[in-house]
Amino acid sequence: MRRNRPPRSPLHRFAIISVALSTVVLGYYLGNRYQFGELQNSAAIMLEQPLDADASRMPRELVELMEVEGSWVIVLPGETGAACDQLLAHYIEVVNRLAAWPDIQSRVRLALLQTTARPPSTAWQNVTWASTHTLPEADMLALTGNLGIAPIGNRWCQDVQGTAALLGPENRAYALLPLDNPSDIAESLRLIITALDPDV
């Protein structure tokens, strides 16, 4: 025979709801703490505060690229040539390593900033998520200086000259990506985008 339970008092119901809500909030908080804590294991250099990119110094095509919803743009200075073609091949391997996370992989873009109005090489033309953008040298120096990737000499796309800035939501720079092996760069991108992009 089914026993009739006494009706729960309003105070009892309030306590149950409060516990349930606290569990959800605590889980969200701990999940975020775990994700942000993981960023300490990233090879990227996280900026202490997101940095607003100076869109006034950017070519219109780059601004439009950054404004595509959900896009994360890897920005680096360079000049079209063999070294930057090799760096593109390096980033193709990076993006290929993100195949297990298609929501992240589909958001990544690579933008090469150059001061010489050369047409992109065939390598750059054949990669849909990579592009080259030409801007005056003064704008290049101002923009890359603001992002912390100002060029040193002219050894484009190699050694310290291969450090890129990672721009994400609201046209802000969130991290610097030193030139590293593809697996480390891919893991840095995964950790950063997972932690900072609520839609992933």
Which is nearest to 161 in space by CA: 79, 72, 97, 95? Answer: 79
Which residue's entry shows tokens 């985008």? 193
Q: What is the pLDDT of residues 101-139, one digit of tens each?
A: 999 999 999 999 998 888 888 899 999 999 999 999 899
Return the structure tokens found at 131.
Answer: 């592009």
Query: For residue 10, is it within any domain?
Result: no
Q: What is the pLDDT of residues 135-150, one digit of tens each?
A: 998 998 899 999 999 8
Query: For residue 8, is it within any domain?
Result: no
Helices then strands, counting H and E runs in the chain, come out as 7, 6
Pick the more confident residue, 187 or 161.
187
Q: What is the pTM of this model?
A: 0.78
Query: For residue 32, is it within any domain?
Result: no
DSSP for residue 111 = E
In the predicted model, is pLDDT for residue 189 greater than 70?
Answer: yes
Long-range contact set of residues 135-140: C-beta below 8 Å, sequence gap at least 24: 135/57, 135/58, 135/59, 139/57, 139/58, 140/77, 140/113, 140/114, 140/115
* pLDDT on residue 198: 80
Query: For residue 117, is it within any domain?
Result: yes
What is the CATH number for 105?
3.40.30.10
Query: For residue 150, is it within any domain?
Result: yes
Average pLDDT score over the chain: 81
Query: Which residue type sits at 40?
Result: Q
Which residue's entry shows tokens 């796309």? 157
Quote the domain boundaries for residue 124. Answer: 42-196
Structural domain count of the chain: 1
Residues 6+ apart with CB under 8 A from 29: none
Rounded alpha-carbon distances, angstroms, from residue 184 to 49, 137, 161, 174: 22, 31, 18, 17
Return the structure tokens found at 87.
Answer: 């760096």
Query: For residue 25, is it within any domain?
Result: no
Query: For residue 77, is it within any domain?
Result: yes
